[in-house]
C-alpha cells in the first residue's frame, strides 16, 4: 500500500524573532517505522472532495489534521522560514503551470484543427458552384486557428527560453553569467506563468468556437480544455499576483535594469535581419522594433511613477504584463522566423515547415503584436477611476 | 397534460422554381383534434439528451421525426420560404441572446462584487499596520470589477438603444423615419448579439478570477456563468457569422451609408459637451471623438477593399465588429455620463449614483476604448497570412 504525503504550511508558536511564524511540514498518511515500513495511521483525514469546474483527474479535498489527538508532521527546512521554503517549490511550479497552459492550448488547437478539416459546411466565399467545403476554408475559422497556433508556439518558445536560462543559471562556470541568467529567470517567470495561462483560456475558448454547437457538447472534448484551463490563471499565485511580482519585484526593484537588458537583447538580435532579402523578415523586424519601443516607453512610465503613484502601478500591472509578454513572444517568433529563413537556404526538403514558421511569425507581427497599442494608454491612463470610485459606488 | 411544440426546418420536394427548398413546420408531440383536445401521439421521439457544458436547465435532445410511419407537421408561412420564416424568428432571437449575455454578465458581476466585499485577504498597498482588508481594496480586483461593471452597463445600454429603434421602426408615423429606424436596427443587431455575448464570456471569466480558487468550485456559483455563457457566441448564428452579417450585409451593401449616419449621430451628440465645466466630460468626449475617427478610417478601408479583396474583409470581420461595438458602447456611456452631469445640477440627493456613472464612462474611455487601436492594424493588415498559409501548413 502506498503512503500519501501532504505538504502543509502551518503556524508555529514560540519561535525567536525575525521569522515568518510558519513552518513547512511533511505530513504522511501513515507514520513510518524505524525500519522504513509503514506504521500506524496518522491523524489526517479528507472530509470532503470538492466539486470543481475542471481538472477532475485531480481530487481536491478539504483536509483535517489533528482533530483526534494530533497529527505528526516532519519539518522541512528551518522553523519560521516556511514561506521561503514554499516559494522554492512555488517558483518551480510557476514555470510548470505555464507549461501546463501551453500543453492545454496545444491539445485544444489540435482538436479544433482536426475538426475544422473534417467538418463540411457552407461554400467557399464567392464560389457559386454549390460545392460544399470543410470549414477550414472559411476566413474566420482560419483566423481563429492561426491565432491558436501562433500564440501556442510563442508561449511554448518563451517557456523553453526561460528553461534554457534556468540551465545556464545552474551550470554557467562564470558566476557573473550565472547571475545574469538568474536575473532573466526572475524576470521571465511571471510572464511564462501568467501569459501562457491567459492564452490557454483564450485558446480553449476559440477551440470551442471553431467546433460551433458541437464544442458545447462534453463528448466532443473541446469543452474539457475550457473547464480545465480556468484554474491555471488562479493557482500557484493568481495572474494578478504574477503581474505585481513582475512590476514591483522584477522591474522596479532594480530600477528597470534587467528589463532594459532584455529590451537591448531583442534590439541587438534584430540587427541580424539587416540586408536579408525577405519581405516576411522585413515586416517582422519593423513590427517588433516598434513594439520594443512601446514596451520601453511603458516601462519608463512605470519607473517614473513607482514612488508617487503606487496604486496606479498596481492597477496597471496586469495590462503591463500582457504588453511585456506579447513583445517577448514576438521576439521568440522572430527568432524562429530568422532560423527558418536561414534553414530555407540549405534545406529545401522541409520548405513547407520553414515557410509555415515565417507565416506564423508574420501573422503574430501583423495581427497580434499590435494589441499592445490598445494597452499602453490603459496602463498609463486607465487607472485613475479604479482608485477614485468608492466601494459603495461599485 | 401540456402539449410540446417543435419548430422544424425541413426540406420539401416538388416545389416550383425560385424557392429555397425548405419549409418551416410546427410539429406537435400530440396531434390536436378538431375540438381542440389532444389527440394521438405524433411520431416524434427524443432519442437522447445531450451532455452539455452549461445551460443544464435547457435539455437539448437529439430528435427523430417520422421513423415509425411519419410525423405530422403544420406548415408555417409559405412552402419554399422556410429560411425566410426562420430568419424572422432569428432576428428577434439575436437581440434576445444579446440580452441573455447582458443578464449573465450582470449576475456574474453581482456575485463577484459581493465576494470581493466579503472576502478578507492581504493588506492595503503600503500599509504596514498589519490590518487585513477585503479584497475589494486591492487595485487589480477593483480594475476587474470596474471592467465588469462598465462593459455590462455599456452592452445593456446598446441593447436597449436597439430596442428603442425597434419601437420606432414599428410605430413611427413618418415612413421615412420608420425606415431609418429599421436601418439602424439592422446595423445594431449583429453588434448587440456578438459584442454582448463576447463580453459575457469575458465577464464570467473575470468573475471566477475575482473569486480566486473559490471560483473554481461549482458550489460558489461563479463557474456556472462561465459554463452557461460559452454557448452564447455560438447559437442563433455564431459571432463569426454576426461579423460577416455586419460587414457584408449591414455596412458594405449600402456602401457604408448607415454606418456613416451612425458615426455622424455620435459626433453630433458630442457637440453637447462643449463648454461644460467637467474634466470627466472633457476626457470622455476627446476619447470618443478620436475613436469615432478610427472607426470611420477602418470602415473606409473595408469599403475600398470590398471588391478587390473579399477574403481580407472576411478575415477582418470579427475584429472590425469589436471595434464598431466598442465605439458604440463608448457612445452609450457618453450619453449616460452627459445625462448624469446634467442631473447632478438639480438632484444632489443622488450625487453618488450620478458620479458613479461619470466614473464608469471615464474608465471606459481611458481603459477600454483604446483597445480599438490594437485592432485597427490587425483589421487592415492582419489578414494576409490567414489566406496565404496552406491547409497542410496549419
Q: Do B45 and B57 touch, CB atoms closer than 8 A?
A: no
Q: Is A56 on the interface with B (CB under 8 A)?
A: no
Q: Are the beta carbons of B146 and A394 separated by less than 8 Å?
A: yes
The per-residue pLDDT for A382 is: 85
Is A265 one of the annotated active-site residues of the chain? no
Q: How far is A141 from chain B (nearest CA, A)?
A: 8
Locate B96 and state its grid cell.
434576445
The model's pTM: 0.95
A291 or B127: which leads in pLDDT: A291
pLDDT tens-digit map of B98-115: 999 999 999 999 999 999
pLDDT of residue B89: 79
pLDDT at A1: 67
User: The cell 476626457 sits on which residue?
Assistant: B283
- Minimum distance, in Å, between the CA of residue B149 and any CA atom of chain A: 7
Taking an 8 Å cut-off on Cβ atoms, the answer to whether B230 and A208 are in contact is: yes
Count structural domains, chain A: 3
Q: Does A130 touch chain B (CB under 8 A)?
A: no
Read off the pLDDT band of A373 (50, 70, 90).
very high
| pLDDT band at B394; cut points 50, 70, 90 | very high
B227 and B109 together in one domain? yes
Same domain, A302 and A213: no
Task: Give the CATH number of the domain where residue A48 resides.
Answer: 2.40.110.20
E strands present in chain B: 5-11, 22-28, 30-32, 38-41, 44-49, 61-65, 74-76, 120-123, 132-134
What phi, psi does A65 have (nearest 5°)? -115, 125
Mutate to test the interface with B, among A389, A390, A392 (most CBs of B within 10 A): A389
Looking at the fold, whether A90 and A220 belong to one and the same domain comes out as yes
Q: How far apart, in Å, do the first and last CA atoms of chain B sit?
A: 54
Residue A268, burial from CB neighbour count under 10 angstroms (0-12, 13-18, 19+): exposed
How many CB atoms sit inside 10 A of residue A329's CB? 25
Phi/psi region, residue A255 (left: phi>0; alpha: psi -120 to 50; beta: rest), is left
pLDDT value of residue B185: 97
What is the rounded average pLDDT of the residues B259-266?
A: 98
Q: Do B373 and A372 touch (CB under 8 A)?
A: no
Least confident of A10-24, A132-146, B247-261: A10-24
The last residue of a domain, from among B26, B54, B76: B76
Residues B40 and B96 placed together within one structural domain of the fold: no
B391–A contact, CB cutoff 8 A:
yes
Option in A233, A243, A386 nearest B146 (CB): A386
Which chain B residue has its CA at the smallest distance from A242's CA? B140
Chain B partners of A141 at a C-beta cutoff of 8 Å? 240
The answer for residues whose C-beta is within 8 angstroms of residue B361's C-beta and 6 or more apart is B150, B280, B284, B333, B334, B336, B337
Tell which of A367, A373, A384 to mutate to test the B interface (max B CBs under 10 Å): A367
Give the per-residue pLDDT at B126.
Answer: 86
The CATH number of residue B152's host domain is 1.20.140.10
Least confident of A11-20, A47-56, A243-252, A261-270: A11-20
Q: Looking at residue B85, what is its pLDDT? A: 85
Based on the domain organization, do B176 and B257 belong to the same domain? no
Instruction: Give the pLDDT score at A92.
Output: 84
Task: Give the DSSP H/E element, type plus range, for residue B105.
Answer: helix B82-118
To the nearest whole Å, the CA of B312 is away from the closest chain A CA by 8
Q: Which of B56, B76, B96 is the last residue of a domain?
A: B76
How many interface pairs between A and B have CB atoms less than 8 angstroms apart?
Answer: 249
Residue A216: which of B230, B382, B385 has the nearest Cβ?
A: B230
Cβ <8 Å between B53 and A226: yes
Q: Which three cell numbers stand for residue B310?
A: 473579399
Q: For residue A207, what pLDDT is reported?
A: 98
Q: Is B170 on the interface with A (CB under 8 A)?
A: no
Among residues A144, A115, A116, A104, the alpha carbon closest in space to that of A225 is found at A104
Kindly report, residue by residue over A67-114, the tens digit of the pLDDT.
Answer: 999 999 999 989 999 888 888 888 789 999 999 999 999 999 999 999
Percent of chain B with pLDDT strictly greater than 70: 100
Residue B383 confidence class, pLDDT cut points 50, 70, 90: confident
Domain boundary among B237, B266, B298: B237
pLDDT in tens, B311-330: 999 999 999 999 999 999 99
Give B194→chain A minimum CA distance, Å: 13
Read off the pLDDT band of A141 (50, 70, 90). very high
Same domain membership, residue B62 and residue B152: no
* B344 and B275 assigned to the same domain: yes
Q: Do A333 and A389 fall into the same domain?
A: yes
Is the predicted pLDDT of residue B1 greater than 80, yes or no?
no
Q: Is B128 within 8 Å of chain A by CB? A: no
Model confidence band, residue A366 (pLDDT cutoffs 50, 70, 90): very high
> For residue B19, what pLDDT is reported?
83
Residue of A126, A137, A143, A308 to mutate, testing the B interface (most B Cβ within 10 Å of its Cβ): A143
Residue B86 has pLDDT above 90, yes or no: no
Give B377 to chain A, closest Cα distance, Å. Answer: 7
**Which tens digits make up the pLDDT trace of B166-191?**
999 999 999 999 999 999 999 999 99
Same domain, residue pair A244 and A357: yes
Cβ-Cβ contacts under 8 Å for B21 (sequence gap 6 or more): B11, B12, B15, B80
- Reported as a single tens digit per residue, the pLDDT across B294-304 is 999 999 999 99
CB atoms closer than 10 angstroms to residue B40 = 9
Query: Mean pLDDT score of chain B, rounded to an integer?
Result: 95
From the list A142, A353, A376, the residue facing B315 with the nearest CB is A142
Annotated active-site residue in A106, A137, A153, A236? A236
Q: Each residue of B117-126: pLDDT tens digit? A: 999 999 998 8
Q: In this model, does residue A323 exceed pLDDT 70?
A: yes
Same domain, A214 and A270: no
pLDDT for res A99: 98
Given a cut of 90, whether residue A16 has pLDDT beyond it is: no
Question: Is B145 in the A-facing interface, judged by CB distances under 8 Å?
Answer: yes
**Owning domain of residue B375:** 241-393
Candidates B106, B137, B153, B236; catalytic one: B236
Q: Do B374 and A371 touch (CB under 8 A)?
A: yes
pLDDT digit string, tens, across residues B185-230: 999 999 999 999 999 999 999 999 999 999 999 999 999 999 999 9
A339 touches chain B (CB under 8 A): no
Looking at the fold, whether A309 and A223 belong to one and the same domain comes out as: no
**Chain A residues within 8 A of B375 when measuring between CB atoms:** 370-371, 374
**Same domain (yes/no): B91, B182:** yes
Q: How many residues does the structure list for chain B?
A: 394
With CB atoms and an 8 Å threshold, state whether B240 touches A382.
Answer: no
Min Cα separation A323/chain B (Å): 11
pLDDT tens track for A206-237: 999 999 999 999 999 999 999 999 999 999 99
Chain A hits for B205, Cβ within 8 Å: 201, 230
Specify the DSSP class assigned to residue A45. Answer: E
Residue A52 in contact with partner chain B when CB distance is under 8 A? yes
Amino acid at each position: 500500500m502506498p503512503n500519501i504525503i501532504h505538504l502543509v504550511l502551518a503556524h508555529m508558536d514560540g519561535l525567536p524573532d525575525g521569522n515568518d511564524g510558519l513552518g513547512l511540514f511533511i505530513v504522511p498518511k501513515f507514520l513510518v517505522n524505524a525500519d522504513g515500513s509503514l506504521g500506524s495511521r496518522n491523524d489526517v483525514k479528507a472530509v470532503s472532495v470538492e466539486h470543481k469546474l475542471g481538472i477532475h483527474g485531480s481530487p481536491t479535498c478539504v483536509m483535517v489534521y489533528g482533530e483526534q489527538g494530533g497529527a505528526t508532521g516532519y519539518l522541512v527546512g528551518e522553523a519560521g522560514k516556511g514561506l521561503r521554503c514554499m516559494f522554492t517549490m512555488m517558483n518551480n511550479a510557476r514555470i510548470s503551470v505555464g507549461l501546463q497552459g501551453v500543453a492545454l492550448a496545444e491539445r485544444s488547437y489540435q482538436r479544433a484543427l482536426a475538426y475544422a478539416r473534417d467538418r463540411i459546411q457552407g461554400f467557399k466565399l464567392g464560389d457559386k458552384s454549390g460545392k460544399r467545403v470543410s470549414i477550414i476554408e472559411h476566413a474566420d475559422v482560419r483566423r481563429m486557428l492561426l491565432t491558436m497556433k501562433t500564440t501556442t508556439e510563442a508561449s511554448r518558445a518563451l517557456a523553453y527560453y526561460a528553461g534554457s536560462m534556468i540551465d545556464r543559471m545552474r551550470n554557467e562556470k562564470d558566476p557573473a553569467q550565472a547571475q545574469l541568467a538568474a536575473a532573466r529567470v526572475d524576470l521571465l517567470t511571471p510572464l511564462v506563468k501568467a501569459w501562457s495561462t491567459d492564452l490557454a483560456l483564450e485558446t480553449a475558448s476559440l477551440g470551442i468556437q471553431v467546433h460551433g454547437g458541437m464544442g458545447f457538447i462534453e463528448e466532443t472534448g473541446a469543452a474539457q480544455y475550457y473547464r480545465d484551463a480556468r484554474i491555471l490563471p488562479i493557482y500557484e499565485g493568481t495572474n494578478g499576483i504574477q503581474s505585481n511580482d513582475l512590476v514591483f519585484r522584477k522591474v522596479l526593484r532594480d530600477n528597470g535594469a534587467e528589463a532594459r537588458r532584455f529590451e537591448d537583447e531583442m534590439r541587438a538580435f534584430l540587427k541580424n535581419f539587416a540586408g536579408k532579402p525577405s519581405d516576411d523578415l522585413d515586416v517582422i523586424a519593423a513590427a517588433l522594433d516598434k513594439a520594443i519601443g512601446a514596451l520601453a516607453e511603458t516601462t519608463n512610465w512605470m519607473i517614473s511613477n513607482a514612488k508617487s503613484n503606487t496604486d496606479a502601478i498596481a492597477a496597471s500591472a496586469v495590462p503591463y504584463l500582457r504588453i511585456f509578454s506579447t513583445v517577448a513572444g514576438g521576439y521568440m517568433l522572430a527568432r524562429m522566423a530568422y532560423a527558418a529563413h536561414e534553414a530555407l537556404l540549405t534545406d529545401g526538403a522541409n520548405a513547407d515547415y520553414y515557410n509555415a514558421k515565417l507565416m506564423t511569425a508574420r501573422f503574430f507581427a501583423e495581427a497580434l503584436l499590435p494589441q499592445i497599442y490598445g494597452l499602453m494608454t490603459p496602463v498609463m491612463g486607465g487607472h485613475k477611476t479604479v482608485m477614485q470610485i468608492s466601494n459603495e459606488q461599485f
